[in-house]
Structure 1
Amino acid sequence: MNIRELAAMLINPYNHQSLHPVGEQHLEDVSGNRIPVVNGIPDFLALEKIGGMNKKHQRLYDNLSPFNDIAERVVSLFVDMDKLRREWLADVEVKPGDKILETSVGSGWNIKALPRFGDYYGLDISGGMLRQAARNMTKWNRTVQLFRGNAEYLPFKDHTFDCVFHAGGLHFFDNRVRAIREMVRVARRGSRIVIIDETAPHIRKQYRRLPSVKGYLNNGANEAMRALVPLELIPGNMRELEVKLLDHGRMYQLSFRTA
Protein backbone atom coordinates (compact mmCIF):
# COMPACT_ATOMS: atom_id res chain seq x y z
CA MET A 1 0.00 0.00 0.00
CA ASN A 2 1.47 3.36 -0.98
CA ILE A 3 1.69 6.26 1.43
CA ARG A 4 -1.25 8.15 -0.11
CA GLU A 5 -3.55 5.15 0.22
CA LEU A 6 -2.39 4.76 3.82
CA ALA A 7 -3.03 8.41 4.64
CA ALA A 8 -6.63 8.13 3.42
CA MET A 9 -7.53 5.63 6.16
CA LEU A 10 -5.46 7.06 9.02
CA ILE A 11 -5.71 9.70 11.73
CA ASN A 12 -3.46 11.01 14.43
CA PRO A 13 -4.90 8.84 17.24
CA TYR A 14 -4.17 11.46 19.90
CA ASN A 15 -6.12 14.36 18.34
CA HIS A 16 -8.11 12.56 15.57
CA GLN A 17 -6.84 14.93 12.87
CA SER A 18 -6.54 13.56 9.34
CA LEU A 19 -3.09 12.87 7.91
CA HIS A 20 -1.40 13.70 4.63
CA PRO A 21 1.86 12.35 3.21
CA VAL A 22 5.08 14.36 3.36
CA GLY A 23 7.29 12.69 0.79
CA GLU A 24 7.49 8.92 1.18
CA GLN A 25 8.82 8.78 4.73
CA HIS A 26 6.39 10.81 6.85
CA LEU A 27 2.72 11.45 7.54
CA GLU A 28 1.62 14.78 9.01
CA ASP A 29 -1.53 16.29 10.53
CA VAL A 30 -2.68 19.92 10.16
CA SER A 31 -1.06 20.78 13.50
CA GLY A 32 2.34 19.76 12.14
CA ASN A 33 2.73 16.51 14.10
CA ARG A 34 4.79 14.05 12.05
CA ILE A 35 4.64 10.26 12.01
CA PRO A 36 7.68 8.54 10.48
CA VAL A 37 7.15 5.67 8.05
CA VAL A 38 10.01 3.20 8.53
CA ASN A 39 10.32 0.38 5.98
CA GLY A 40 6.66 0.88 5.09
CA ILE A 41 5.48 0.78 8.74
CA PRO A 42 4.01 4.03 10.17
CA ASP A 43 5.33 4.55 13.72
CA PHE A 44 2.65 6.26 15.82
CA LEU A 45 4.63 5.72 19.00
CA ALA A 46 6.79 8.62 17.83
CA LEU A 47 3.95 10.77 19.24
CA GLU A 48 3.58 8.99 22.61
CA LYS A 49 5.77 8.35 25.62
CA ILE A 50 4.79 4.82 26.63
CA GLY A 51 4.61 4.17 30.37
CA GLY A 52 3.10 1.90 33.02
CA MET A 53 2.20 -1.68 32.14
CA ASN A 54 2.37 -0.87 28.43
CA LYS A 55 6.06 0.07 28.69
CA LYS A 56 6.88 -2.99 30.78
CA HIS A 57 5.25 -5.39 28.37
CA GLN A 58 6.56 -3.59 25.30
CA ARG A 59 10.02 -4.37 26.69
CA LEU A 60 9.01 -7.99 27.34
CA TYR A 61 7.83 -8.55 23.76
CA ASP A 62 10.84 -6.74 22.28
CA ASN A 63 13.07 -9.10 24.28
CA LEU A 64 11.08 -12.17 23.24
CA SER A 65 10.81 -11.26 19.55
CA PRO A 66 14.11 -12.87 18.38
CA PHE A 67 12.99 -16.20 19.89
CA ASN A 68 9.25 -16.06 19.18
CA ASP A 69 9.27 -18.06 15.95
CA ILE A 70 11.74 -20.62 17.36
CA ALA A 71 9.34 -21.17 20.28
CA GLU A 72 6.46 -21.49 17.80
CA ARG A 73 8.25 -24.22 15.91
CA VAL A 74 9.22 -26.08 19.09
CA VAL A 75 5.64 -26.01 20.41
CA SER A 76 4.42 -27.24 17.00
CA LEU A 77 6.40 -30.44 17.52
CA PHE A 78 3.96 -31.35 20.30
CA VAL A 79 0.78 -29.42 19.43
CA ASP A 80 -0.95 -28.92 16.08
CA MET A 81 -0.78 -25.12 16.24
CA ASP A 82 -2.44 -24.63 12.84
CA LYS A 83 -5.47 -26.59 14.04
CA LEU A 84 -5.44 -24.76 17.37
CA ARG A 85 -5.36 -21.36 15.70
CA ARG A 86 -8.23 -22.30 13.40
CA GLU A 87 -10.23 -23.08 16.56
CA TRP A 88 -9.25 -19.77 18.17
CA LEU A 89 -10.05 -17.75 15.06
CA ALA A 90 -13.19 -19.56 13.89
CA ASP A 91 -15.41 -16.53 14.63
CA VAL A 92 -13.16 -14.01 12.86
CA GLU A 93 -15.32 -13.18 9.85
CA VAL A 94 -13.44 -12.83 6.56
CA LYS A 95 -15.08 -12.29 3.18
CA PRO A 96 -13.31 -11.45 -0.08
CA GLY A 97 -12.22 -7.83 -0.04
CA ASP A 98 -12.93 -7.33 3.68
CA LYS A 99 -10.56 -5.20 5.71
CA ILE A 100 -9.46 -7.16 8.80
CA LEU A 101 -7.51 -5.61 11.69
CA GLU A 102 -5.56 -7.52 14.32
CA THR A 103 -4.47 -5.47 17.31
CA SER A 104 -1.31 -6.85 18.98
CA VAL A 105 -0.42 -8.69 15.78
CA GLY A 106 2.89 -10.00 17.17
CA SER A 107 4.90 -11.84 14.52
CA GLY A 108 1.86 -12.54 12.36
CA TRP A 109 1.04 -16.20 12.98
CA ASN A 110 -2.67 -15.58 13.46
CA ILE A 111 -3.01 -13.84 10.11
CA LYS A 112 -1.16 -16.73 8.47
CA ALA A 113 -4.01 -18.99 9.68
CA LEU A 114 -6.75 -16.84 8.08
CA PRO A 115 -7.96 -16.96 4.44
CA ARG A 116 -5.78 -15.24 1.88
CA PHE A 117 -8.65 -13.32 0.30
CA GLY A 118 -8.97 -10.71 3.08
CA ASP A 119 -7.10 -7.40 3.24
CA TYR A 120 -5.14 -7.59 6.49
CA TYR A 121 -3.79 -4.90 8.80
CA GLY A 122 -1.80 -5.46 11.99
CA LEU A 123 -0.78 -3.14 14.82
CA ASP A 124 1.65 -3.84 17.65
CA ILE A 125 3.46 -1.90 20.36
CA SER A 126 6.64 -3.96 19.89
CA GLY A 127 9.01 -2.94 17.12
CA GLY A 128 10.81 -6.26 17.48
CA MET A 129 7.64 -8.25 16.86
CA LEU A 130 6.74 -6.08 13.86
CA ARG A 131 10.14 -6.63 12.26
CA GLN A 132 9.64 -10.38 12.67
CA ALA A 133 6.11 -10.09 11.26
CA ALA A 134 7.41 -8.28 8.17
CA ARG A 135 9.98 -11.04 7.58
CA ASN A 136 7.32 -13.71 8.05
CA MET A 137 4.90 -12.11 5.60
CA THR A 138 7.63 -12.12 2.94
CA LYS A 139 8.44 -15.77 3.74
CA TRP A 140 4.77 -16.79 3.64
CA ASN A 141 3.98 -14.67 0.56
CA ARG A 142 1.27 -12.84 2.49
CA THR A 143 0.38 -9.15 2.22
CA VAL A 144 -0.27 -7.35 5.52
CA GLN A 145 0.03 -3.62 6.24
CA LEU A 146 1.73 -3.18 9.61
CA PHE A 147 1.65 -0.28 12.08
CA ARG A 148 3.57 0.43 15.27
CA GLY A 149 1.24 1.88 17.85
CA ASN A 150 -0.69 1.57 21.08
CA ALA A 151 -3.92 -0.46 20.78
CA GLU A 152 -5.51 1.97 23.26
CA TYR A 153 -5.10 4.71 20.61
CA LEU A 154 -5.80 3.19 17.20
CA PRO A 155 -4.66 5.36 14.26
CA PHE A 156 -7.62 4.58 12.00
CA LYS A 157 -10.71 6.52 10.96
CA ASP A 158 -14.09 5.51 12.39
CA HIS A 159 -15.82 2.51 10.77
CA THR A 160 -12.81 1.40 8.69
CA PHE A 161 -12.74 -2.38 9.23
CA ASP A 162 -15.14 -5.25 8.52
CA CYS A 163 -13.78 -7.30 11.43
CA VAL A 164 -11.42 -6.51 14.31
CA PHE A 165 -9.76 -9.10 16.52
CA HIS A 166 -7.21 -9.41 19.31
CA ALA A 167 -5.51 -12.63 20.41
CA GLY A 168 -3.48 -12.69 23.62
CA GLY A 169 -2.26 -10.12 26.12
CA LEU A 170 -5.31 -7.92 26.73
CA HIS A 171 -4.76 -8.41 30.47
CA PHE A 172 -1.38 -6.66 30.05
CA PHE A 173 -2.92 -3.38 28.82
CA ASP A 174 -2.96 -0.23 30.97
CA ASN A 175 -6.49 0.66 29.85
CA ARG A 176 -8.52 -2.30 28.65
CA VAL A 177 -11.74 -0.26 28.49
CA ARG A 178 -10.19 2.18 26.06
CA ALA A 179 -8.65 -0.60 23.96
CA ILE A 180 -12.03 -2.33 23.54
CA ARG A 181 -13.82 0.94 22.76
CA GLU A 182 -11.19 1.70 20.14
CA MET A 183 -11.83 -1.69 18.51
CA VAL A 184 -15.52 -0.81 18.37
CA ARG A 185 -14.85 2.69 17.01
CA VAL A 186 -12.79 1.54 14.02
CA ALA A 187 -15.17 -1.33 13.13
CA ARG A 188 -18.04 -0.83 10.70
CA ARG A 189 -21.57 -1.14 12.00
CA GLY A 190 -22.62 -4.77 12.27
CA SER A 191 -19.01 -5.98 12.30
CA ARG A 192 -17.72 -8.83 14.42
CA ILE A 193 -15.24 -8.10 17.22
CA VAL A 194 -13.34 -11.09 18.60
CA ILE A 195 -11.15 -10.99 21.74
CA ILE A 196 -9.10 -14.06 22.67
CA ASP A 197 -6.89 -14.23 25.73
CA GLU A 198 -5.35 -16.59 28.26
CA THR A 199 -7.50 -17.60 31.22
CA ALA A 200 -6.32 -16.91 34.77
CA PRO A 201 -5.54 -20.60 35.58
CA HIS A 202 -3.42 -20.91 32.43
CA ILE A 203 -1.44 -17.78 33.31
CA ARG A 204 -0.77 -19.13 36.81
CA LYS A 205 0.27 -22.59 35.61
CA GLN A 206 2.20 -21.76 32.45
CA TYR A 207 3.63 -18.24 32.44
CA ARG A 208 4.96 -18.27 35.99
CA ARG A 209 7.18 -21.24 35.13
CA LEU A 210 8.98 -19.31 32.38
CA PRO A 211 11.99 -17.37 33.72
CA SER A 212 11.84 -14.89 30.82
CA VAL A 213 8.21 -14.01 31.58
CA LYS A 214 7.46 -14.49 35.27
CA GLY A 215 9.42 -11.40 36.32
CA TYR A 216 6.94 -9.26 34.34
CA LEU A 217 3.95 -10.65 36.25
CA ASN A 218 2.63 -9.56 39.63
CA ASN A 219 1.13 -11.80 42.27
CA GLY A 220 -1.70 -9.56 43.44
CA ALA A 221 -5.45 -9.95 43.27
CA ASN A 222 -5.61 -7.15 40.70
CA GLU A 223 -3.67 -9.21 38.16
CA ALA A 224 -5.98 -12.19 38.73
CA MET A 225 -9.03 -9.97 38.18
CA ARG A 226 -7.58 -8.59 34.95
CA ALA A 227 -7.27 -12.14 33.57
CA LEU A 228 -11.01 -12.79 33.89
CA VAL A 229 -13.28 -12.50 30.83
CA PRO A 230 -13.92 -8.72 30.66
CA LEU A 231 -17.67 -8.89 30.06
CA GLU A 232 -18.26 -5.78 32.15
CA LEU A 233 -16.02 -3.74 29.80
CA ILE A 234 -18.11 -4.34 26.67
CA PRO A 235 -20.35 -1.38 25.69
CA GLY A 236 -23.97 -2.12 26.57
CA ASN A 237 -25.36 -1.64 23.06
CA MET A 238 -23.32 -4.45 21.47
CA ARG A 239 -25.19 -7.45 20.02
CA GLU A 240 -24.70 -11.25 19.87
CA LEU A 241 -22.39 -11.30 22.90
CA GLU A 242 -20.87 -14.76 23.37
CA VAL A 243 -18.14 -16.33 25.52
CA LYS A 244 -16.41 -19.64 24.75
CA LEU A 245 -13.62 -21.55 26.47
CA LEU A 246 -10.99 -22.82 24.03
CA ASP A 247 -8.05 -25.23 24.16
CA HIS A 248 -9.30 -27.16 27.20
CA GLY A 249 -9.92 -23.98 29.17
CA ARG A 250 -6.51 -22.41 28.56
CA MET A 251 -8.02 -19.60 26.47
CA TYR A 252 -11.29 -17.72 26.34
CA GLN A 253 -12.98 -16.15 23.35
CA LEU A 254 -15.25 -13.14 23.82
CA SER A 255 -17.07 -12.05 20.67
CA PHE A 256 -19.85 -9.61 19.84
CA ARG A 257 -21.25 -7.59 16.97
CA THR A 258 -21.23 -3.80 16.80
CA ALA A 259 -24.56 -1.97 16.86
Structure 2
Amino acid sequence: MQDKDNTTHFGFKEIPTDQKVDAVAQVFHSVAAKYDIMNDLMSGGIHRLWKRHTISQSGVRAGQKVLDIAGGTGDLTAKFSRLVGQSGQVILADINDSMLKVGRDKLANMGVVGNVQCVQANAEELPFPDNTFDCITIAFGLRNVTDKSKALASMQRVLKPGGRLLVLEFSKPETECLSTIYDQYSFRLLPFMGKIIANDSESYRYLAESIRMHPDQETLKGMMEEVGFERVTYQNMTGGIVALHKGFKF
Protein backbone atom coordinates (compact mmCIF):
# COMPACT_ATOMS: atom_id res chain seq x y z
CA MET A 1 0.00 0.00 0.00
CA GLN A 2 1.57 3.22 -1.05
CA ASP A 3 0.89 6.78 0.11
CA LYS A 4 0.87 10.22 -1.49
CA ASP A 5 4.55 10.72 -0.73
CA ASN A 6 5.35 7.80 -3.05
CA THR A 7 6.61 5.54 -0.30
CA THR A 8 5.58 2.03 0.61
CA HIS A 9 6.16 -0.35 3.48
CA PHE A 10 9.04 -2.80 3.60
CA GLY A 11 8.13 -4.72 6.69
CA PHE A 12 7.56 -2.04 9.32
CA LYS A 13 9.81 0.46 7.52
CA GLU A 14 8.78 3.04 4.94
CA ILE A 15 10.95 3.14 1.81
CA PRO A 16 10.63 4.81 -1.61
CA THR A 17 8.23 2.81 -3.76
CA ASP A 18 10.75 2.37 -6.56
CA GLN A 19 13.17 0.67 -4.15
CA LYS A 20 10.85 -2.06 -2.87
CA VAL A 21 11.32 -4.55 -5.72
CA ASP A 22 15.09 -4.51 -5.19
CA ALA A 23 14.74 -4.68 -1.41
CA VAL A 24 12.46 -7.71 -1.58
CA ALA A 25 14.73 -9.26 -4.21
CA GLN A 26 17.68 -9.09 -1.80
CA VAL A 27 15.64 -10.94 0.84
CA PHE A 28 14.82 -13.80 -1.51
CA HIS A 29 18.29 -13.93 -3.05
CA SER A 30 19.49 -14.47 0.51
CA VAL A 31 16.96 -17.12 1.54
CA ALA A 32 16.52 -19.03 -1.74
CA ALA A 33 18.96 -21.85 -1.02
CA LYS A 34 17.40 -22.66 2.38
CA TYR A 35 13.81 -21.72 1.49
CA ASP A 36 12.31 -25.22 1.49
CA ILE A 37 14.08 -26.27 4.69
CA MET A 38 12.97 -23.12 6.49
CA ASN A 39 9.37 -23.52 5.29
CA ASP A 40 9.22 -27.00 6.82
CA LEU A 41 10.80 -25.84 10.07
CA MET A 42 8.78 -22.63 10.42
CA SER A 43 5.42 -24.29 9.81
CA GLY A 44 6.16 -27.72 11.22
CA GLY A 45 5.40 -29.04 7.74
CA ILE A 46 1.84 -27.66 7.82
CA HIS A 47 2.53 -25.50 4.74
CA ARG A 48 2.28 -28.70 2.71
CA LEU A 49 -1.30 -29.20 3.95
CA TRP A 50 -2.19 -25.59 3.13
CA LYS A 51 -0.84 -26.04 -0.38
CA ARG A 52 -2.54 -29.39 -0.82
CA HIS A 53 -5.88 -27.80 0.09
CA THR A 54 -5.20 -25.00 -2.40
CA ILE A 55 -4.68 -27.58 -5.14
CA SER A 56 -7.94 -29.29 -4.16
CA GLN A 57 -9.80 -26.00 -4.58
CA SER A 58 -8.29 -25.21 -7.98
CA GLY A 59 -10.57 -27.33 -10.14
CA VAL A 60 -7.62 -27.89 -12.47
CA ARG A 61 -7.93 -30.79 -14.89
CA ALA A 62 -6.13 -32.32 -17.87
CA GLY A 63 -5.39 -30.04 -20.79
CA GLN A 64 -5.70 -26.78 -18.88
CA LYS A 65 -3.24 -23.92 -18.57
CA VAL A 66 -2.13 -22.81 -15.10
CA LEU A 67 -0.06 -19.84 -13.91
CA ASP A 68 1.74 -20.26 -10.57
CA ILE A 69 2.82 -16.73 -9.61
CA ALA A 70 5.61 -16.29 -7.04
CA GLY A 71 5.91 -20.03 -7.46
CA GLY A 72 9.39 -20.02 -5.97
CA THR A 73 10.70 -23.52 -5.53
CA GLY A 74 7.85 -25.14 -7.44
CA ASP A 75 5.72 -26.96 -4.84
CA LEU A 76 2.40 -26.06 -6.48
CA THR A 77 3.82 -26.25 -10.00
CA ALA A 78 4.89 -29.88 -9.52
CA LYS A 79 1.39 -30.89 -8.47
CA PHE A 80 -0.30 -28.89 -11.23
CA SER A 81 2.03 -30.47 -13.79
CA ARG A 82 0.61 -33.88 -12.95
CA LEU A 83 -2.99 -32.61 -13.03
CA VAL A 84 -2.83 -30.91 -16.44
CA GLY A 85 -0.88 -33.73 -18.09
CA GLN A 86 1.07 -33.49 -21.32
CA SER A 87 -1.85 -31.80 -23.08
CA GLY A 88 -1.78 -28.95 -20.57
CA GLN A 89 0.80 -26.39 -19.45
CA VAL A 90 1.99 -24.87 -16.19
CA ILE A 91 3.98 -21.66 -16.04
CA LEU A 92 6.09 -21.14 -12.94
CA ALA A 93 6.53 -17.37 -12.62
CA ASP A 94 8.66 -15.54 -10.09
CA ILE A 95 10.19 -12.07 -10.07
CA ASN A 96 13.31 -13.40 -8.33
CA ASP A 97 15.83 -15.23 -10.49
CA SER A 98 17.47 -16.97 -7.51
CA MET A 99 14.15 -18.50 -6.45
CA LEU A 100 13.35 -19.39 -10.04
CA LYS A 101 16.68 -21.19 -10.45
CA VAL A 102 16.08 -23.23 -7.28
CA GLY A 103 12.60 -24.08 -8.53
CA ARG A 104 13.80 -25.06 -11.99
CA ASP A 105 16.52 -27.34 -10.59
CA LYS A 106 14.13 -28.91 -8.08
CA LEU A 107 11.51 -29.66 -10.75
CA ALA A 108 14.15 -31.16 -13.04
CA ASN A 109 15.38 -33.39 -10.22
CA MET A 110 11.79 -34.53 -9.68
CA GLY A 111 11.44 -35.37 -13.36
CA VAL A 112 8.86 -32.63 -13.91
CA VAL A 113 9.59 -31.62 -17.49
CA GLY A 114 7.78 -31.13 -20.75
CA ASN A 115 4.68 -29.26 -19.66
CA VAL A 116 6.32 -26.69 -17.35
CA GLN A 117 7.85 -23.39 -18.37
CA CYS A 118 9.70 -21.02 -16.02
CA VAL A 119 9.26 -17.29 -16.57
CA GLN A 120 10.78 -14.39 -14.64
CA ALA A 121 7.90 -11.95 -14.30
CA ASN A 122 6.56 -9.13 -12.15
CA ALA A 123 3.04 -9.88 -10.88
CA GLU A 124 2.06 -6.24 -11.47
CA GLU A 125 2.79 -6.50 -15.21
CA LEU A 126 2.28 -10.10 -16.25
CA PRO A 127 3.78 -10.68 -19.74
CA PHE A 128 0.90 -12.78 -21.08
CA PRO A 129 -2.05 -12.07 -23.41
CA ASP A 130 -5.53 -11.45 -22.08
CA ASN A 131 -7.66 -14.53 -21.26
CA THR A 132 -4.77 -17.03 -21.24
CA PHE A 133 -5.09 -19.14 -18.07
CA ASP A 134 -7.73 -21.45 -16.63
CA CYS A 135 -6.35 -21.05 -13.12
CA ILE A 136 -3.90 -18.69 -11.40
CA THR A 137 -2.35 -19.25 -7.99
CA ILE A 138 -0.15 -17.07 -5.83
CA ALA A 139 1.00 -18.71 -2.60
CA PHE A 140 2.75 -16.64 0.06
CA GLY A 141 3.77 -14.07 -2.53
CA LEU A 142 1.14 -11.33 -2.64
CA ARG A 143 2.30 -9.70 0.58
CA ASN A 144 5.68 -8.98 -1.04
CA VAL A 145 4.16 -7.20 -4.06
CA THR A 146 4.49 -3.42 -4.04
CA ASP A 147 1.11 -2.58 -5.61
CA LYS A 148 -1.21 -5.43 -4.72
CA SER A 149 -4.26 -3.98 -6.49
CA LYS A 150 -2.29 -3.57 -9.69
CA ALA A 151 -1.10 -7.17 -9.43
CA LEU A 152 -4.62 -8.47 -8.82
CA ALA A 153 -5.86 -6.53 -11.85
CA SER A 154 -3.06 -8.03 -13.94
CA MET A 155 -4.09 -11.50 -12.83
CA GLN A 156 -7.72 -10.79 -13.66
CA ARG A 157 -6.70 -9.65 -17.14
CA VAL A 158 -4.79 -12.83 -18.06
CA LEU A 159 -7.36 -15.20 -16.55
CA LYS A 160 -9.86 -16.79 -18.93
CA PRO A 161 -13.58 -16.15 -18.45
CA GLY A 162 -14.72 -18.90 -16.10
CA GLY A 163 -11.26 -19.21 -14.60
CA ARG A 164 -10.37 -18.83 -10.97
CA LEU A 165 -7.69 -17.12 -8.87
CA LEU A 166 -6.46 -18.67 -5.64
CA VAL A 167 -4.51 -16.49 -3.19
CA LEU A 168 -2.90 -18.44 -0.35
CA GLU A 169 -1.39 -16.06 2.17
CA PHE A 170 -0.70 -15.43 5.83
CA SER A 171 -3.53 -13.45 7.33
CA LYS A 172 -5.08 -12.27 10.61
CA PRO A 173 -5.55 -14.84 13.40
CA GLU A 174 -9.14 -15.24 14.51
CA THR A 175 -8.56 -14.71 18.25
CA GLU A 176 -6.49 -12.29 20.29
CA CYS A 177 -4.94 -15.16 22.23
CA LEU A 178 -3.73 -16.86 19.06
CA SER A 179 -2.55 -13.50 17.69
CA THR A 180 -0.43 -12.90 20.81
CA ILE A 181 1.14 -16.36 20.66
CA TYR A 182 1.77 -15.96 16.92
CA ASP A 183 3.45 -12.58 17.44
CA GLN A 184 5.84 -14.08 19.99
CA TYR A 185 6.66 -16.92 17.62
CA SER A 186 7.10 -14.63 14.60
CA PHE A 187 9.25 -11.92 16.12
CA ARG A 188 11.34 -14.02 18.48
CA LEU A 189 11.69 -17.51 17.06
CA LEU A 190 11.64 -16.89 13.29
CA PRO A 191 14.63 -14.51 13.20
CA PHE A 192 16.52 -16.88 15.51
CA MET A 193 15.80 -19.84 13.24
CA GLY A 194 16.78 -17.75 10.23
CA LYS A 195 20.12 -16.95 11.83
CA ILE A 196 20.85 -20.58 12.77
CA ILE A 197 19.65 -22.28 9.57
CA ALA A 198 20.08 -19.65 6.84
CA ASN A 199 22.63 -17.34 8.53
CA ASP A 200 20.20 -14.47 7.97
CA SER A 201 18.01 -13.19 10.81
CA GLU A 202 17.11 -9.89 9.16
CA SER A 203 15.42 -11.45 6.13
CA TYR A 204 13.20 -13.51 8.39
CA ARG A 205 12.46 -10.48 10.54
CA TYR A 206 11.26 -8.74 7.35
CA LEU A 207 9.13 -11.76 6.40
CA ALA A 208 7.46 -11.69 9.84
CA GLU A 209 6.83 -7.95 9.55
CA SER A 210 5.47 -8.29 6.01
CA ILE A 211 2.80 -10.68 7.31
CA ARG A 212 1.58 -8.04 9.78
CA MET A 213 1.42 -5.39 7.04
CA HIS A 214 -0.62 -7.57 4.67
CA PRO A 215 -4.35 -6.78 4.32
CA ASP A 216 -6.66 -8.83 6.52
CA GLN A 217 -9.16 -11.31 5.12
CA GLU A 218 -12.04 -8.91 4.48
CA THR A 219 -9.79 -6.19 3.06
CA LEU A 220 -8.20 -8.55 0.57
CA LYS A 221 -11.63 -9.87 -0.42
CA GLY A 222 -12.69 -6.30 -1.18
CA MET A 223 -9.53 -5.63 -3.19
CA MET A 224 -10.23 -8.66 -5.36
CA GLU A 225 -13.79 -7.53 -5.95
CA GLU A 226 -12.66 -4.02 -6.85
CA VAL A 227 -10.58 -5.28 -9.79
CA GLY A 228 -13.39 -7.41 -11.16
CA PHE A 229 -13.29 -10.79 -9.47
CA GLU A 230 -16.69 -12.25 -8.66
CA ARG A 231 -17.98 -14.78 -6.11
CA VAL A 232 -14.97 -13.99 -3.93
CA THR A 233 -14.74 -16.10 -0.80
CA TYR A 234 -12.06 -16.97 1.71
CA GLN A 235 -11.39 -19.85 4.06
CA ASN A 236 -9.35 -19.50 7.22
CA MET A 237 -6.88 -22.25 8.04
CA THR A 238 -4.99 -22.86 11.28
CA GLY A 239 -7.11 -20.30 13.11
CA GLY A 240 -6.71 -17.59 10.48
CA ILE A 241 -2.92 -17.66 10.48
CA VAL A 242 -3.37 -18.49 6.82
CA ALA A 243 -6.32 -17.77 4.53
CA LEU A 244 -7.18 -19.04 1.07
CA HIS A 245 -9.03 -16.47 -1.06
CA LYS A 246 -10.82 -17.65 -4.19
CA GLY A 247 -12.33 -15.49 -6.93
CA PHE A 248 -13.71 -16.08 -10.42
CA LYS A 249 -13.66 -14.16 -13.68
CA PHE A 250 -16.89 -14.19 -15.67
With the length of structure 1 as denominator, give the TM-score of the two structures: 0.71
CA contact (8 A) 1:85 1:110 kept: yes
Alignment of 1:33-182 (within 5 A): 51-72=18-39, 74=41, 78-79=44-45, 81-114=47-80, 116-118=82-84, 119-143=89-113, 144-182=116-154
The CA deviation string for residues 98-157 of structure 1, in whole angstroms up to 9 with x for no partner, is: 000011011111222346032210111111111100111111111321111211110001
Number of aligned residue pairs: give it.
Answer: 207
For 1:34, the equivalent position in structure 2 comes to none
Q: Greater helix percent: which structure?
A: 2
* 218 and 89 in structure 1: CA distance in 2 versus 1, 3 angstrom threshold: closer
Aligned residue for 1:105, secondary structure, equals coil
Partners of 2:146 and 2:46 in 1: CA distance: 32
Which residue of structure 2 aligns with residue 15 of structure 1?
Answer: none
Q: Which amino acid aligns with 1:233?
A: M
SS at match of 1:106: coil
Conserved? CA contact 1:198–1:227, under 8 Å: no
State the alpha-carbon separation in 2 of the partners of residues 100 and 162 from structure 1: 6
Q: Which runs of 5+ in 2 are unaligned?
A: 1-16, 174-178, 192-200
3-state SS, counterpart of residue 156 of structure 2: helix
Contact 1:191–1:257, Cα closer than 8 Å, also in 2: yes
Give the CA deviation at 1:83.
3.5
Identity within the alignment, %: 22
Q: Secondary structure at the match of 2:123?
A: coil
- 2:170–2:211 Cα contact (<8 Å) kept: no
Please list every run of 5 or more consecutive structure 1 residues that lacks an aligned counterpart in the other structure: 1-49
Q: What is the root-mean-square deviation in Å for CA atoms of aligned residues?
A: 2.6
Distance 1:225 1:133 in 2: 27
Contact 1:102 1:123 in 2 (8 A): yes
Q: Within 2, Cα distance between the matches of 1:121 and 1:218? A: 28
Are 1:246 and 2:237 matched, yes or no? yes
Distance in 2 (alpha carbons) for counterparts of 1:223 and 1:142: 31
- Structure 1 counterpart of 2:241, one-letter code: R
Query: In structure 1, how many angstroms separate the alpha carbons of the residues matched to 2:112 and 2:130?
Result: 26
Residue 238 of structure 1 deviates from its aligned partner by 2.8
TM (normalized to structure 2)? 0.73
Closer, same or farther in 2 for the Cα pair 1:57/1:159, shift >3 Å?
Answer: same
